[in-house]
Amino acid sequence: MTTIDAGVAQLVELHVANVVVAGSSPVSRSVHEESPVRPCGPTGFFASIIASRFMNKKLIAKSQNHFGSTVPGLPFLSYPGALLFAVFLVGCGAGSGEPEHTIIPLPASVEWTVADTFHFTEETRILFDSTDTEAERIGEFLSGLIGNSTETMPAVEAYSTDVADGGIYLTREGASSSLGSEGYELTVTGSQVIVRAMEPAGLFYGVQTIRHLLPPVVEYTAAYPRPLFLPGVHITDQPRFQWRGTMLDVARHFLPLHDVKRFIDLAALYKLNRLHLHLSDDQGWRVEIPGWPNLTEHGGSTEVGGGVGGYYSTDEYTELVEYAQERFVTVVPEIDMPGHTNAALASYAEFNCDGIARDLYIGTNVGFSTLCVDKDITYEFLDDVIREISSRTPGPYFHVGGDEVEELSEEEYITFIERMQSIVNSHGKRMIGWDEIALADLQVGSVVQLWRPYWPSDETEDMDSAQAALRVEFEAGILRAVDAGATVVLSPADRLYLDMKYDTSTVLGLTWAGIPDERGSYDWKISDKFSSLPEGAIAGVEAPLWSETLGTLEDFEYMAFPRLAGVAELGWTSASLREWEEYRMRLGAQSARWTVLGLNFRRSPLIPWEVGPSEH
Report the catalytic residues.
404
Which residue in 408, 342, 328, 404 sits closest to 374, CA to CA?
408
Instruction: State the sign of the Cα–Cα–Cα–Cα dihedral 49, 51, 55, 61.
Output: positive
One-letter amino acid for residue 211 of the chain: R
Cβ atoms of residues 453 and 513 within 8 Å: yes
**Edge-to-edge, what's the strand order for the sheet holding 184-188?**
109-119, 229-237, 184-188, 192-196, 167-171, 125-128, 155-158
Parallel, antiparallel, or unpaired: how do β-strands 109-119 and 229-237 relate? antiparallel
CB 361 within 8 A of CB 282: yes
C-alpha closest to that of 498 among 240, 241, 245, 243: 245
Angle between helices 257-269 and 553-560 (to 10 degrees): 20
C-alpha pair distances (Å), 512 with each of 335, 490, 509, 515: 24, 18, 10, 8
Residue 527: enclosing H or E segment and its boundaries? helix 526-529
Burial class (CB in 10 A: 0-12, 13-18, 19+), 606: middle
Q: Cα(384)–Cα(262) distance, rounded to whole angstroms?
A: 30
Reported as type and span, the H/E element at residue 381 is helix 376-391
Dist. CA 325–CA 274, nearest whole Å: 10
321 — alpha (psi -120 to 50), left (phi > 0) or beta? alpha
Question: Among candidates 253, 246, 247, which has minimal Cα distance to 548?
Answer: 253
DSSP track, 24-80: T-GGGS-TTS--SS-TTHHHHHHHHHHHHHHTT-------TT----SBTTB----HH
What is the DSSP annotation of 294-335? HHHHTTTS--GGG-----B-HHHHHHHHHHHHHTT-EEEEEE
Cα separation, 549 vs 552, in Å, equals 10
Q: To 5 degrees, how large is the angle CA 384–CA 389–CA 392?
A: 130
Q: Residue 132 region, left (φ>0) first, then alpha (ψ -120 to 50), else beta?
A: beta
Contact in structure between 333 and 399 (CB atoms under 8 Å): yes
d(CA 541, CA 245): 6
